[in-house]
Amino acid sequence: MKHREGTLAGWQGVSLYYQSWHPDEPSQAVVVLIHGLGGHSNVFQNAVEYLVPQGYEVYAFDLRGHGRSAEQRGHINAWAEFREDLRLFLRFVRSQRTSCPIILWGHSLGGTIVLDYVLRSPDEIQGLIVTAPALGKVSVSPIKLAIGQLMSRIAPRFSLRLGIHNYAGSRNPEVVEAYRRDPLRHEYGSARLATEYFSTVRWIDRHAFELKIPLLILHGSSDRVTLPEGSRIFFQQVIFPDKEHREYPGSYHDLFVDTDYELVFSDLENWLKRHLIGTKTCQPLMTEA
């Protein structure tokens, strides 16, 4: 497995940290991973170690305000910043590969980001995976949400700890402890991020019927961060026939590091195989190192 990392210029020149992982043999598709609020691209290491040996290239970047990327922790001025950062990252990925299907996988807030993106730019992506998408009620205090709504207009950078506990991510105590020790994770969300998030969720809800690419939604039934009800409702609103929804009994928020992650990966891999039948291996545009 080859690992590469670097920075690229996001929307309005913001420095974004990215990583990519490549199999030793020719790959059959690229999976682009978008993490959730407070996370960073390293959280997907389990997924990388599963997907790359199966013949997939994996690309991920730290959202602005997260991990090793620039800007205030957990803040955006407008949702378009997330959208345009993703657009520029996908352009970068495409510049590395040609004739290569791109599968977009968003987790939690990343699920919201990718759904908004694909509904606006459906022709760029060949398949969409969302795990535990933030599409409805979230486990943030109503009082904090109300403060965020109030402060968004007068002090949009005003930030609060969200109060989402590490143990809500996984039933594996080793994972919870790793979260606690991770210096790249954060627990903050700004007032403007909150109002932009809720506005975007309402827009996605109104346009769900327009989704026209293969969709896989995975959610844990015991998710206390983004409630599984949001996934169920969104799935019912999608009229495109190539859609699947799986809910894992007892699973927590971060399915890719929860105790039954191998079952999740098996379901994901089966979905990928069915949707990549007949595709050619990826061809590089740049000289391989």
223 belongs to the catalytic site: yes
Give me the catalytic one of 251, 253, 254, 258: 253
123 belongs to the catalytic site: no
40 belongs to the catalytic site: no
Give me the catalytic one of 108, 152, 170, 231: 108
Give me the catalytic one of 62, 116, 223, 254: 223
Kindly report the backbone phi and psi dihedral angles of residue 107, in degrees, each rounded to the nearest multiple of 5, phi listed first: -115, 135
Q: List the catalytic residues.
A: 108, 223, 253
